[in-house]
Amino acid sequence: MVFDPNRQAMNLFGKRIYIQLELVHYLFSKETLVGLMSRASVEDVPWTGRTKTNTVEVEVPASPSAPGCPPWRID
C-alpha cells in the first residue's frame, strides 16, 4: 500500500523505499524440511534456517499515472 488516507505518515509518493525479505523455513512441515535439507546437501543452497534476500530498491513516483478504467464491469 502506497497511500492510506487515514495514516498520512504512510504517504510514500515521491519516496525511495528499500525492501528485504527474511525467509523463515521452520514454519514448514517436518516432511517438507527433510526434503529441503536433502536438496541443500546436493545443490549447496540454504534451504533451512533463516535466509534474507538481497535488498530491493523501489522508487515510488510522486504522481503515478494510472490507466483508464476498462469499459466493462465485474460484479
Question: Which residue in 68, 20, 27, 66 sits closest to 48, CA to CA?
Answer: 27
Q: Give residue-wise pLDDT tens across range 59-74.
A: 988 887 777 777 777 7
Question: Which residue in 48, 50, 49, 59 sits closest to 19, CA to CA?
Answer: 59
Give the residue-averaged pLDDT of 34-40: 74
- Where are the chain's structural domains? 18-59
Q: Is the pLDDT of residue 1 over 60?
A: no
pLDDT at 57: 94
CB 21 within 8 A of CB 58: no
Q: Could you report how far apart the first and last alpha carbons of the chain are, in Å? A: 24
